[in-house]
């Protein structure tokens, strides 16, 4: 017993119990050192290796001009390397650093108040913030804090493809890629839930739309329960725990009444352990605990894809569709015109060179032979073919015209020549009342006029 007390005296930094905190402690997982981080006091913070069940207490000196509690309320913690934690103003701007036992402000910026609810990640020692809400509307600005300049700069991306303005999105960081999943779009008083999924490649500096969120995941996505500045590979809604695996494009839902008391969820690498804050039913005190994710997976509800890939056509805007429709219709009209023209030319080239007797009636063939033999004839000379006893002149004239028209149509169909070039009628040069009918010399009769 005396030996145990001696160990406690010489190792006061090692704790074996849960940590009691305020309502909203600063929680994080440092992937660079593989340890959980808890800060809720101006004199010390705690770390724990996932699975060790040992909290280690570290002392530090706060060297800020503002009150410590004000800084905690305004900032969110983000590990940027093994030994350094940045505390970044939620709306973007001021940056504080905890390093080598000193907590102090390190930027020369100001309170932007322009990116509340932004997705915040660290890459190669810099802080990146995408989106966020400010000045009555959402943004899709991509900001970067450069420690060497102590200032914020806008990230210049390659291409014009990028997510629309949004805040409070699900987001994940995998190696050199940031994934933005849905979010809220707020424009003054209008609010829309977004369902698109985007991937940003830090090495290529390009955005790529991956698809649209699964409808079930969208229904289980409750922005009010998100720790909006922490990666969301594990989060909860009501009594359900949601785990995201972006590499395999799947999400899994587990049901467990215990998670109802979990206020903030910070997963470790590969989601093996969860750091979270909780309270009793009377909210008389708050604690920070660590549990394995496996111990919380009491009942598996189901496993589903995170997003469905979208087709190229679905990415075309309404304006582009209108232009494409006009171009397509113009192309289709041109094609039909060309096909019709080609068909007409083919139709004409397949015409018969000679007229056959079998294609006409006996009287039609006889009249055609007569006209072709003389080259031209007066129409009245054909009256004997239509005249009958008691027939009026007007009736005779109509029969003659119908007869000649019928011959024209047949010849046009067979020879593919225009009707105005067949059996052309002209007036007699002496007596204008008389009509002369002419034979087209390009048309010949099979067997000649003697047949």
Q: Could you report the per-residue pLDDT of 34-54, keeping only the tens digit for each? A: 999 999 999 999 999 999 999
Alpha carbon distance 58, 33 (integer Å): 15
- Identify the residue whose tokens are 């929680």: 27
- Of 223 and 303, the one with more pLDDT: 303
Alpha carbon distance 123, 178 (integer Å): 10
Closest by CA to 417, choosing from 437, 448, 440, is 440
Asked if residues 179 and 130 have their Cβ atoms less than 8 Å apart, the reply is: no
Percentage above 90 pLDDT, the chain = 48
Strand 137-138 to 142-146 pairing: unpaired
- pLDDT grade for 266, boundaries at 50, 70 and 90: very high
Mean pLDDT across the chain: 86
Q: Three-class SS of residue 195? A: strand
Q: Which tokens belong to 8?
A: 């406690």
Asked if residues 50 and 273 have their Cβ atoms less than 8 Å apart, the reply is: yes
- pLDDT grade for 225, boundaries at 50, 70 and 90: low
Asked if residues 77 and 39 have their Cβ atoms less than 8 Å apart, the reply is: yes
Alpha carbon distance 49, 54 (integer Å): 7
- pLDDT grade for 349, boundaries at 50, 70 and 90: low
Interacting residues of 175 by C-beta distance below 8 A, sequence separation 6+: none
Alpha carbon distance 109, 96 (integer Å): 11
- pLDDT grade for 123, boundaries at 50, 70 and 90: very high
Alpha carbon distance 353, 371 (integer Å): 18
Per-residue pLDDT at 187 exceeds 90: no
pLDDT tens profile 57-95: 999 999 999 999 999 999 999 999 999 999 999 999 999
Question: In b/e form, how buried is each residue of 222-231, taking b as 16+ CB within 10 angstroms?
Answer: eeebbbbbbb
Average pLDDT of 416-433? Answer: 83
CATH of domain 17-315: 2.120.10
Alpha carbon distance 442, 368 (integer Å): 14
pLDDT at 1: 43
The CATH class of the 354-445 domain is: mainly alpha
pLDDT at 355: 87
- Of 68 and 346, the one with more pLDDT: 68
Side by side, which strands form the sheet with 44-48? 14-15, 55-59, 44-48, 35-39, 26-30
Per-residue pLDDT at 170 exceeds 70: yes
Longest dimension (CA), the chain: 150
pLDDT at 237: 84
Q: Three-class SS of residue 142? A: strand
Alpha carbon distance 367, 381 (integer Å): 10
- Of 413 and 244, the one with more pLDDT: 244
pLDDT at 12: 46
CA angle 416, 419, 424 (to 5 degrees): 130
């Amino acid at each position: 017993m005396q030996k145990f007390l001696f160990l406690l005296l010489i190792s006061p930094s090692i704790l074996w119990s849960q940590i009691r905190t305020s309502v909203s402690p600063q929680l994080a997982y440092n992937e660079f050192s593989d340890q959980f981080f808890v800060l809720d006091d101006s004199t010390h913070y705690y770390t724990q290796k996932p699975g060790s069940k040992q909290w280690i207490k570290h002392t530090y000196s706060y060297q800020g001009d503002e009150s410590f509690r004000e800084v905690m309320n305004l900032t969110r913690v983000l590990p940027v390397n093994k030994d350094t934690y940045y505390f970044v103003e939620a709306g973007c701007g001021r940056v504080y650093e905890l390093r080598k036992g000193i907590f102090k402000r390190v930027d020369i910026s100001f309170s932007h108040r322009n990116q509340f609810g932004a997705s915040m990640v660290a890459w190669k020692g810099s802080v990146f913030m995408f989106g966020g809400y400010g000045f009555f509307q959402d943004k899709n600005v991509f900001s970067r804090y450069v420690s060497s300049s102590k200032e914020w700069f806008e990230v210049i991306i390659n291409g014009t493809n990028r997510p629309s303005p949004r805040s409070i999105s699900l987001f994940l960081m995998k190696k050199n890629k940031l994934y933005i999943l849905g979010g809220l779009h707020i424009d003054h008083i209008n609010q829309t839930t977004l369902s698109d999924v985007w991937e940003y490649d830090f090495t290529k500096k390009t955005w790529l739309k991956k698809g649209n969120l699964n409808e079930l995941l969208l229904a289980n996505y409750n922005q009010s329960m998100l720790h909006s500045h922490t990666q969301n590979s594990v989060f909860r809604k009501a009594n359900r725990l949601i785990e995201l695996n972006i590499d395999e494009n799947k999400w899994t839902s587990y049901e467990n009444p215990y998670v109802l008391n979990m206020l903030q969820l910070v997963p470790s690498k590969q989601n093996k352990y969860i750091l979270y804050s909780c309270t009793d039913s009377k909210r008389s005190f708050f604690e920070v605990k660590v549990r394995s994710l496996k111990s919380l997976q009491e009942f598996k509800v189901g496993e589903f894809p995170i997003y469905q890939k979208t087709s190229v056509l679905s990415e075309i805007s309404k304006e582009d569709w209108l232009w494409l429709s006009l171009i397509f219709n113009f192309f289709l009209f041109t094609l039909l015109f060309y096909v019709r023209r080609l068909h007409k030319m083919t139709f004409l080239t397949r015409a018969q060179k000679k007229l056959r007797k079998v294609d006409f009636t006996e009287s039609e063939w006889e009249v055609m032979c007569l006209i072709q033999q003389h080259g031209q004839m007066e129409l009245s000379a054909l009256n004997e073919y239509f005249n009958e006893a008691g027939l009026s002149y007007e009736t005779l004239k109509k029969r003659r015209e119908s007869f000649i028209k019928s011959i024209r149509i047949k010849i046009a169909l067979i020879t593919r020549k225009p009707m105005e070039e067949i059996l052309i009628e002209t007036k007699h040069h002496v007596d204008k009342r008389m009509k002369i009918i002419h034979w087209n010399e390009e048309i010949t009769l099979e067997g000649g006029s003697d047949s």
